[in-house]
Amino acid sequence: MANIMVGKTAVGAYSFYLPKRDLEDAIVSMEYDSADKWGGEIRLNNGGIYYIEPQALPARFPISLRARRLDAAE
């Protein structure tokens, strides 16, 4: 499990940041993206896939979360 940060850009897209590797990328898809269920499998622009436990949509961004890496791409 890795500590990550998810933020929102000015146009409302999600961004991903992994401090341990100084990796910053755009989130291109998210399994759940509604007010009551947010998270699940997230796919990055570079092909990386991570999983964050589904939860209610956070009230503020950026938010720090624990994520599990599902692939080896980076």
Q: Does 57 map to a domain? A: yes
Q: Does 74 map to a domain? A: no
Q: Does 12 map to a domain? A: yes
Q: How many domains does the chain have?
A: 1
pTM of the prediction?
0.89
Which CATH number covers residue 41? 2.40.50.240
- Predicted confidence at residue 71, as pLDDT, reads 82
- Predicted confidence at residue 72, as pLDDT, reads 66
What residues of the chain score a pLDDT lower than 50?
74
* Domain limits for position 57: 2-69
- Predicted confidence at residue 65, as pLDDT, reads 96
Q: Does 13 map to a domain? A: yes
Give the position of tokens 């000015």: 10
Enter the DSSP assignment of 13. -
